[in-house]
Amino acid sequence: MEAIEGPNILAALWSHWFPGFPVPAVLLTAWLIMGFLIVVGLLVARRVSLEPGRLQNVLETALEYVMGLSRQIAGPQGPRFVPLFATLFLFILCSNLIGLVPGFVSPTTNLNINAAMALIVAGTAEFMNIRQRGVAGYCKHFCGPPYWLAPMFVIIRGMEMFTRPLSLTMRLFGNMLAKEIMLGVLVYLLTLFFFAHGIVFKLLAIVPFLLRPGILLLGVLVGFVQALVFTALTMSYIGGAFEKH
């Protein structure tokens, strides 16, 4: 897909500056996004005021939205984990959107990056489960109730632990990869028709050119929705550790 859409800017620069230390383009992009978010956070933290500027307004709006959503999904304990929820949401959103810029690739189209985030979510949820119930209560939770069906419950809840990070990984990967494929196909068709012989084929080049803005708008919508879905599921998994039943 990267070869179809064109060379990756970060990969080209990195290979020029550090030819003996290759790094995948998706990892370079993830580093860029993390650095960007850290810098923006530090700038806003240093300039917090009662009369916020545009950047502070944007971040405060996003933070308030995530905090309100965490109360609805994760319950009263949700705001405790807002730093995790907000970080995931902003990182995934930026990762999804940067793939719409020519010369960049979305880190969320890589299974390894998605799996790393999903394992953090699953690990946090299980850790909070153990902390709330205790080791004995956690093991008891795996066995029922009813406890006479303990062997079946151990299998079911063991599968649940495995499928949670798997579903988080594959859902985000599949949706973002589909967007990348659609954009790549449009670029390929535009190039194919434009350089083909015959006036008919050159006129057909208008079709992918007109479709691309619509695909970009759809990509923005899908990118936001997938970031929200991933964050909401994270809230649900962590909030489940605080349920009484």
105-114, 131-140, 166-175: least confidently modelled range = 131-140
Give the angle subtended at the CA of 35 by the CAs of 17 and 70, to the nearest 5°. Answer: 150
Token pair for 222: 């899908």
Average pLDDT over residues 28-54: 85
Res 1: pLDDT? 46
Cα distances from 126 to residues 72, 135, 206, in angstroms, run: 21, 11, 52
125 and 237 in contact (C-beta within 8 Å)?
yes
Could you tell me the sign of the dihedral formed by the alpha carbons of 97, 13, 2, 34, in that order?
A: negative
3 and 191 in contact (C-beta within 8 Å)?
no
124 and 21 in contact (C-beta within 8 Å)?
no
Condensed to tens digits (0 to 9), the pLDDT of residues 80-123 reads 899 999 999 999 999 999 988 877 888 998 899 999 999 999 99
Most confidently modeled range among 33-42, 189-198, 207-216: 33-42
| DSSP-assigned states of every residue in 131-172 | HHHHHHHHHHHHT-SSGGGHHHHHHHHHHHHHHHHHHHHHHH
- The structure's pTM equals 0.84
Res 24: pLDDT? 84
Q: CA 41 to CA 27: how far, in whole Å?
A: 21
Domain boundaries, the chain: 2-242
Token pair for 118: 């999903």
Distance of CA 69 to the CA centre of its chain: 17
